[in-house]
């Protein structure tokens, strides 16, 4: 079980998570990035509100 690094809420992760996958904390709404899958580590994703100009 992983926890949100921002609000410590428990995160429900699927069995097929991938490193770099983004998810949103149901509790605080922070965008999170899976930085490692074994063991699972979740970190707040870098702010990406701006369009990166692709």
Which residues contact Zn ion (rule: CB under 5 A)?
A: 4, 6-7, 9, 25, 27-28
Q: How far is the CB of 10 from Zn ion (least distance, A)?
A: 10
With respect to Zn ion, which residue has the nearer C-beta, 49 or 51? 49
Size of the chain in residues: 54
Number of Cα atoms under 13 Å in the Cβ half of residue 38: 3
Please say which residue, 9 or 37, places its beta carbon nearer to Zn ion. 9
Residue 11 pairs in a beta bridge with: 2
Tally Cβ neighbours within 10 Å of residue 21. 16
Give whichever of 31 and 54 is closer to Zn ion, judged by the CB atom: 31
């Amino acid at each position: 079980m992983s926890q949100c690094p921002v609000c410590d809420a428990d995160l429900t992760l699927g069995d097929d998570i991938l490193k770099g996958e983004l998810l949103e904390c149901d509790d605080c709404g922070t965008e999170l990035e899976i930085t490692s899958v074994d063991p699972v580590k979740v970190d707040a994703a870098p702010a990406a509100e701006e369009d990166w100009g692709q």
